[in-house]
Amino acid sequence: MKTSAFAALRPGEKLVPYSVERREAGPRDVAIDVLFCGVCHSDIHQARDEWGGGLFPMIPGHEIVGRVARVGAEVTRFRVGDLVGVGCMVDSCRSCRPCEDHHEQFCEKGCAFTYNSTEMDRKTPTYGGYSSHVVVTERFVVKVPEKLDPAAAAPLLCAGITTYSPLRQWGVGKGMKVGVVGLGGLGHMAVKLAASMGAEVTMLSTSRSKEADAKRLNAADFALTSDPDTFSRLKGRFDLILDTISAEHDLNAYMGMVRPFGTLVMLGVPPNPAPLHAFSLIGGNKRLAGSLIGGIQETQEMMDYCAEHGIVSDVEVVPVASVNEAYERTVKGDVRYRFVLDMATLAR
């Protein structure tokens, strides 16, 4: 199937119109007309090959919302016209223990990521959602409730599940105190979700300009981390901290704000390893953990939860032809809080 797209032809180059052949829908496949695709910061890192190992030409995009155009003969969960989503994965081995436990992101054979990866044959390149169509096996497609704005729902497929999963894993609920470090694409979803679960949420930011937005997103408190007094004032306060920052910062200082037996969860990826003193953990039996997206079952749970509670991302929708400008503005932090590409503007 001929598919129009925007692609990075070589590392670091601007994305340009491109055409690629996708497979026709097989017996268990779902062919999707893409309506919207979110711009994740990881798209930028990979299109610029900042993490290395990039496969080019590269069509980024793993926050995909669209309408089912065709289904294979053995597909049972979807019908033509359904509103659906595709996140960070499009397949896995389906038979290892993590896959059987619905944690396909940790497939022992390595899952097939939505782009900059290969299908499970380890030969066929995968291409993402900056395109007119995608074809995905039924198991890796989720239902998007019609009550959600499809454009604003697109980032839920990455930013939403990335923050929902640790909140669920650490049992966030009423009366818990949760800190969120950084108010960006991930951070704003963390605030919304944690507050909806009944937690008392504090936004931890280097910028006073984020305070009004934090309160609008239902944060109960705001603390300026560029002020050293913040770390003494909030010492031992939080049951859980979600750290969304990808810049270098002092983990020891943030661990000081975690209560005994509490946890700091890393969601962002700073460029260099961070020093951590053992006493930051020993003094209070604290935990430093990490979390990576979620499996397909949990992603569907998250999507249904967001529909029930009226939660979507704060987005700025732009034509797909503006993707390079969106990249530059994202790097500068000039978006509140996620760009979404309108794929209907792509010549098909």
Extents of the domains making up the chain: 2-158+314-345, 160-290
For residue 201, give the nearest of 209, 152, 254, 189 by alpha carbon. 189
Q: What is the mean pLDDT of residues 45-61?
A: 96
pTM above 0.75, yes or no: yes
For 2-158+314-345, CATH number? 3.90.180.10
Asked if 184 and 337 count as a contact pair (C-beta separation under 8 A), the reply is yes
User: What is the rounded CA–CA span in Å between residue 215 and residue 172?
Assistant: 19
**18: helix, strand or coil:** strand
- The band of 96, judged by pLDDT with boundaries at 50, 70 and 90, is very high
Asked if 212 and 154 count as a contact pair (C-beta separation under 8 A), the reply is no
Asked if 42 and 343 count as a contact pair (C-beta separation under 8 A), the reply is no
114-149 pLDDT, tens digit per residue, is 999 999 999 999 999 999 999 999 999 999 999 999
User: What is the rounded CA–CA span in Å between residue 331 and residue 11?
Assistant: 16
Residue identified by tokens 């020093």 is: 275
Pick the CATH number of 160-290 from 3.50.50.60, 3.40.50.720, 3.10.20.30, 3.30.450.20: 3.40.50.720
Q: What is the mean pLDDT of residues 49-54?
A: 94
Q: What is the mean pLDDT of residues 53-62?
A: 97
- The band of 1, judged by pLDDT with boundaries at 50, 70 and 90, is confident
